[in-house]
Structure formats: C-alpha cells, structure tokens
C-alpha cells in the first residue's frame, strides 16, 4: 500500500476517499478535513476564544491537537462525571496531554462541585445515565463558556457519531432533533456557539491520528454506554459502510446540504422564547431549567443515591 500523495509506504487507508497515507500525509489529511469543516460551516473566526470539551478520549484530544495544528489556540474543560475508574483514568489522560503541550485545562467535578455523579443521578431519577450525562455536559460546558467569556465550545463529535445520531433521529422522525442536528449551533443570548470540527473525520481516523501523534488516550469505552441505542446504530452503519464505503459521509453531508433546512425552520423560534432559569439564570422555556430540575430530583431522592 502506497501513500496516495507521496508514493511512500502507507500506514492507513481511508476507503471513503479511496486513499492511503503515510504518517505525515495522514496528519495533513486530518488537518485538511478539519480546516474544510471549519471553513465550510464558519465555525471559528480568528479572534474567537475557543473552549474544547475534553474527555480524555481519542476524539477530544485529537481535536485539541488538530486545532493547535491549525493555529487555533484553545483551552480545555474536563468534566468529572464520577464514573468510577473510567473517570479516574480519563482525567489523567486529559491532564497529561495538557501538561505535555502546555495547554490550559480547566476542570469541573460533578461530585465535588455539584454534589452528584452520573451513576448517582441515573439511580436517583430511574433514567438512563446518558440522559443525565448529556444534559449535564450541555449545561455545564455552556455555562462555563458564557461565564468565562469563551465565544465557542468545540466538541469531538466525529462523522460516526453524527451518522449514528442522524440515523436515530430519522428512524424515529424526531423533527425537533433533526432541526437542531448541525455542526454549528450559533450563539445567542446566554449560549456560546457550539461547533463540531471533526464532522468530516471517522472514529478510526481519530484513533489512528492519536497513535501517529503519540497522544495517549482513554481507550476504554464508558461503561455506561454498554447496550445503548447509539452503539447499535453505529454497528448497523459500520456494516453498511463496510459494503459501501462512503455511505456514512453521504448520509451526513447529504442531510446537511439538502435535508437540514427543511427541519430547521420548525426549531428556529425556540431560542427566542426563552427566559432565565429562576434558579441558575440559564436560558430556558420552562421557568426552571432542565439541569436544575435534574439536581432537584437527585436531592429529593432517598439518601445515599446522590453521590454513589
């Protein structure tokens, strides 16, 4: 296998691009895809202050590294979810990267700073851990960015993630989620801009990128993900992609080009009907925001569940 660019020995093939790359040109391929995504969707302007949501996994560390390679200086924010050894190890990877590359890493710990953990929240609310986790991440990353003057929150969602979420939304025809599924959510009163610069790169490419750049990352999957719907969609899409390389990209890019605007109008007015949460001040349609309601439910649950 030879590098498509320089004809030197290739170490990875990218079937959807019908290409193979040596290490140097693979890194360049990843940078090109991120640059293209940023440019195409107007994700980041030169003067923006950028906050990367860092989990310690391959995607977020690769994103942080790729942004630096494109001269986008970004700080990181690690959110401690309290998921046992998985969280304990993840934060070590995030800190090690920050130390080695001299980057600022902020940390917020759900247990120490907010009094609950994700397993505790799941138990107290009898709901899936991922529901409480996603809600907490969205709320806390945004709040941190707004409070500290960051313009943009960048997350490591990759092409596989976006394809799996899109498949789930289409299978249920969830038009609200389809209207909000986009690599850029613009800023508005109380919200920083949210961007997904890895939307043109797959999971396998991100793992390979970390290996080639010598980035040590959390290789374990979150134990709470086992058996969730999202993983099932990823497996189904992988089976299709295996037979027809390029299907995931066609699915996601085709939606963004030709489908998204049909659903976006329905949700366009959503953000104009918000008022500050009476408890924390975050914009919400309901008086008290979903995050404060979650915390309230956890606090009311029988003791010994909130911080387990």
Give the binding site for ligand Q46 (CB under 6 A). 118, 129-130, 133-134, 222, 224-225
Check: CB of residue 41 under 8 Å from CB of residue 181.
Answer: no
103 makes contact, choosing from ligand Q46, Zn ion, none, with CB < 5 to 8 Å by partner type, with: none
CB nearer to ligand Q46: pick between 166 and 224: 224
Check: CB of residue 122 under 8 Å from CB of residue 94.
Answer: no
134 makes contact, choosing from Zn ion, ligand Q46, none, with CB < 5 to 8 Å by partner type, with: ligand Q46
CB nearer to Zn ion: pick between 114 and 222: 114
Q: Give the C-alpha separation, 189 to 6, whole Å.
A: 48
Q: Give the C-alpha separation, 169 to 167, whole Å.
A: 5
Q: Where are the beta strands (DSSP E) in the chain?
A: 12-14, 19-21, 50-54, 74-80, 105-109, 152-154, 184-185, 193-195, 275-276, 283-284
CB nearer to ligand Q46: pick between 101 and 127: 127
| Least Å from the CB of residue 217 to ligand Q46 | 14
CB nearer to ligand Q46: pick between 130 and 290: 130
| Least Å from the CB of residue 290 to Zn ion | 8
| Least Å from the CB of residue 59 to ligand Q46 | 10
Closest Cα to residue 267, out of 189, 178, 193, 165? 178
Give per-residue burial for 229-268: e unless 16+ CB within 10 Å, then b: eeeebbeebbeebeeeeeebbebbbebbeebbeebeeeee
Classify burial at 189, counting beta carbons within 10 Å of its beta carbon; exposed 0-12, middle 13-18, buried 19 or more.
exposed
| Least Å from the CB of residue 29 to Zn ion | 9
| Least Å from the CB of residue 223 to ligand Q46 | 7
114 makes contact, choosing from ligand Q46, Zn ion, none, with CB < 5 to 8 Å by partner type, with: none
CB nearer to ligand Q46: pick between 23 and 76: 76
| Least Å from the CB of residue 22 to Zn ion | 3
CB nearer to ligand Q46: pick between 171 and 225: 225
Closest Cα to residue 89, out of 230, 228, 227, 223? 223
22 makes contact, choosing from ligand Q46, Zn ion, none, with CB < 5 to 8 Å by partner type, with: Zn ion
54 makes contact, choosing from Zn ion, ligand Q46, none, with CB < 5 to 8 Å by partner type, with: none
Q: What tokens appear for 125 in the block?
A: 């609310």
CB nearer to ligand Q46: pick between 226 and 268: 226
Check: CB of residue 171 under 8 Å from CB of residue 240.
Answer: no
| Least Å from the CB of residue 230 to ligand Q46 | 8
Cα–Cα distance list, 117 to 38, 131, 207 (Å): 34, 13, 28
225 makes contact, choosing from ligand Q46, Zn ion, none, with CB < 5 to 8 Å by partner type, with: ligand Q46
50 makes contact, choosing from ligand Q46, Zn ion, none, with CB < 5 to 8 Å by partner type, with: none
Cα–Cα distance list, 214 to 55, 60, 62, 211 (Å): 17, 14, 10, 5
Footprint on this chain of Zn ion (rule: CB under 5 A): 3, 5-6, 8, 22, 25, 277, 279-280, 282, 289, 292
Look-up: residue for tokens 């709320």?
139
279 makes contact, choosing from ligand Q46, Zn ion, none, with CB < 5 to 8 Å by partner type, with: Zn ion
Total length of the chain: 308
| Least Å from the CB of residue 132 to ligand Q46 | 8
CB nearer to ligand Q46: pick between 24 and 221: 221
């Amino acid at each position: 296998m030879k590098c498509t660019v320089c004809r030197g020995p290739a170490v990875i093939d990218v079937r959807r691009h019908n290409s193979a790359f040596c290490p140097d040109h693979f890194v360049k391929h990843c940078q090109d895809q991120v640059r293209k995504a940023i440019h195409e969707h107007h994700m980041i302007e030169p003067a923006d202050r950028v906050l990367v949501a860092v989990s310690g996994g391959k995607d977020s560390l690769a994103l942080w590294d790729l942004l630096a390679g494109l001269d986008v200086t970004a700080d990181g924010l690690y959110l401690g979810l309290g998921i046992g050894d998985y969280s304990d190890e993840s934060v070590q990877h995030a800190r090690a990267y920050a130390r080695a590359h001299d980057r600022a890493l902020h940390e917020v710990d759900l247990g120490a700073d907010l009094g609950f953990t994700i397993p505790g929240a799941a138990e107290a609310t009898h709901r899936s851990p991922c529901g409480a986790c996603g809600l907490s991440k969205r709320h806390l990353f945004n709040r941190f960015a707004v409070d500290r003057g960051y313009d943009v929150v960048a997350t490591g969602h990759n092409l596989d993630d976006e394809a799996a979420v899109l498949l789930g939304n289409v299978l249920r025809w969830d038009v609200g989620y389809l209207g909000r599924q986009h690599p850029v959510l613009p800023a508005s009163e109380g919200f920083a801009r949210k961007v997904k610069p890895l939307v043109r790169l797959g999971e396998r490419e991100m793992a390979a990128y970390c290996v080639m750049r010598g980035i040590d990352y959390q290789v374990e999957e979150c134990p709470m993900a086992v058996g969730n719907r999202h993983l099932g969609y990823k497996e189904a899409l992988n089976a299709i992609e295996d037979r027809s390389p390029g299907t995931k990209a066609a699915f996601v890019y085709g939606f963004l080009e030709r489908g998204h605007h049909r659903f976006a109008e329905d949700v366009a007015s959503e953000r104009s009907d918000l008022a500050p949460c009476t408890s924390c001040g975050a914009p919400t349609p309901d008086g008290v925001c979903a995050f404060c309601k979650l915390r309230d439910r956890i606090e009311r649950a029988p003791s010994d569940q909130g911080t387990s």
